[in-house]
Structure 1
C-alpha cells in the first residue's frame, strides 16, 4: 500500500499552510496529500483528519466524499473507531471491519460502503485540542505491521505543522443555535440511513417516513431521529395516517 514516498517534507507542509486561506482548507489539503502519498500502489484508500478543539465544533477533512460519510456517521452516533482513537489518543486497528463487533450500529450504517480495514492514529496537538488521522481500506488486513508503522510515522510528522495551524487559525465561533442545528442535521442523516436499511427504500422515502412519524405523534423530527439512533428501530406509522 505505502512506501517511503508517503513521507511528506516539512517544506511541503509549510507551503500548504501558507497557501490555505483558512483552517478547513488547510486540513482538507493535509488529508488529500496524505491519501495520495499513502496510496503508493494504487490501492483504494480513503483518509480523513479530525480535529476537536475545546469549545468548538469538530473539524473533519476527508480525501473523498466516501470518507466524509464514514466520519460523519460516527459523529452522528458518537461512536466508532476514529472517535475512539481521537478521544482516547490511542491507535485503533480493525482488520476485518464487517466482523468486528465493537461498533455494531455503525457497521449497519456503513455496510454498503465496502470498508474492510480501518486504521486510526492520534496526532499530537496542543493541550486544548485533539486530532487523529483515519485511514479506510476496501480489503481485509490492509494494514500490515510495516504499513502501521509508516502511517504512525506519517501522523507524527504532521504534529508540528498542525499545532502551528491551530495557533494561526482561531476556532470558528458558532452561535448556539447553529451549533445545535449542525448536530441535529448529523443526527437526522444517521436516522435516515437506518430507516433506509430497515425499509429497503430510498433516502427521500426514509425522510418522508420520519416526517410522517413526527406529524402523527406531534413531535419533532429530531426527537424521532434520536429514538431511532438510540434504539435502532423505526415504528412505521399506520398506513391510514400517512398523508
Structure 2
C-alpha cells in the first residue's frame, strides 16, 4: 500500500471535516488500513479507572480498552499517562502488562500500538491499533502511526475549538434572548435582567445557559397558538 499517498488523502479529508467525533472515526479507519491491522480506535481517560472509546472500527476495541482500565495497565493507557508510544508485538508474553496481555489474547488481539494524541498544551487520549498476529508491526509502522496521530491531533483540536466557539455563540445568543424577555416582562434594563438570571442560576445550582434556555423555551411555548 502507498502509505504516504493514503496519509495525504486522509489529511485532505480531515481538513474538510469539522466534526470532532467523525475525525476520530476517520483516523481509526485509516490507521487500520495503512498499518494492515485488524482493529483501531481512540481511548480517552475519564479517570485511571474509567476510560471511554469515542471511535473504533469494531466493538472489540472498546473491550481491549476496558480491560486496560480494569487491570490498570496496557499500552494504550500508558501512551496517555506516559506521554509516549508503546508497542507490543506479542502481548501474551510482554512483561510490562502481565494481566492485560493474556486477557486481550482471549478476544483475539496479539499485537498492539498505543500512540498519544496531544498538542503541546493538551492531551486528548491515544490512538490504538491492534492486530490478530504476533510481530505485526515494524518500526516503519510505528512511525506511520505517529504521523497519523499527529494529523489526528491537529484536526481534532481545530474542530473542537470551532465547536466550542459555536457553542459559546449559541449560549450567548440564548442568554441575550432571555434577557430581552425579562426586560420586556419586568420593564428592567439589560444589567438587571442578567443579574436576575445569575441569581436564579445560583439559587437553583444550574448553568446560566440552562436557565436562559428554559425561559426562552417557556416564552415560545406560551406564544404558540392554541
Q: TM-score range by the shorter chain?
A: 0.5 to 0.7
**In 1, are the aligned partners of 2:41 and 2:61 still within 8 Å (CA)?**
yes
Q: Which residue of structure 1 aligns with residue 27 of structure 2?
A: 30
Instruction: Identify the match of residue 48 of structure 1 among 41, 49, 58.
Output: 41
Counterpart for residue 14 of structure 1 = 15
Which residue of 1 is the match for residue 220 of structure 2? none
How far, CA to CA, are the matches of 2:40 and 2:92 in structure 1?
A: 19
Distance 1:94 1:27, change over 3 A: same
**Contact between 1:125 and 1:131, CA under 8 Å: does it hold in 2?**
no
User: Considering only CA atoms, is the larger Rg found in Structure 1 or Structure 2?
Assistant: 2
Which deviations, in whole Å up to 9, do the C-alpha atoms of 1:80-99 show, x marking residues without a partner?
Answer: 11000111110111121111
Instruction: Say if 1:97 and 1:108 are closer, same or farther in 2 by CA, change over 3 A.
Output: closer
**Which residue in the other structure is 2:136 paired with?**
142
* Change over 3 Å in CA distance of 1:161–1:52 after alignment to 2: farther
TM-score (norm 2): 0.61
Answering whether residue 51 of structure 2 is matched by residue 68 of structure 1, we say no
Structure-2 change in CA distance of 1:47 and 1:24 (3 Å)? same
Q: In 1, Cα distance between the equivalents of 2:103 and 2:113?
A: 19
Aligned to 1:111: 105
Q: Is the 8 A contact 1:48 1:135 kept in 2?
A: yes
- Unmatched segments (≥5 aa) in structure 1: 171-243
Whether contact under 8 Å (1:51, 1:129) holds in the other structure is no
Inter-partner Cα distance in structure 1 for 2:23 and 2:148: 17
- Corresponding residue SS for 2:106: helix
Deviation digits for residues 17-60 of structure 1, max 9, x if unmatched? 33x4xx43442333223323433xxxx42111223479xx7542
Q: Look up the match of 2:175.
A: none
**CA distance 1:36–1:89, shift in 2 (3 Å):** same
- Unpaired stretches in structure 2, ≥5 consecutive residues: 165-226
* TM-score w.r.t. length of structure 1: 0.57
SS in 2 for 1:104: coil
Cα RMSD between the aligned structures? 2.6
State the distance in 1 between where 2:38 and 2:21 align.
21
In structure 2, how many angstroms separate the alpha carbons of the residues matched to 1:72 and 1:95? Answer: 20
Which 4+ stretches in 1 moved above 4 angstroms?
A: none
**Within 5 Å, which residues of 2 pair with 1:58-207?**
58-60=51-53, 61-125=55-119, 127-170=121-164
Q: Give the direction of change, closer, same or farther, for the CA distance of 1:96–1:2 in structure 2 (3 Å limit).
A: farther
Shift of 1:137: 0.9
The 1:95–1:108 alpha-carbon spacing in structure 2 relative to 1, beyond 3 Å, is: closer
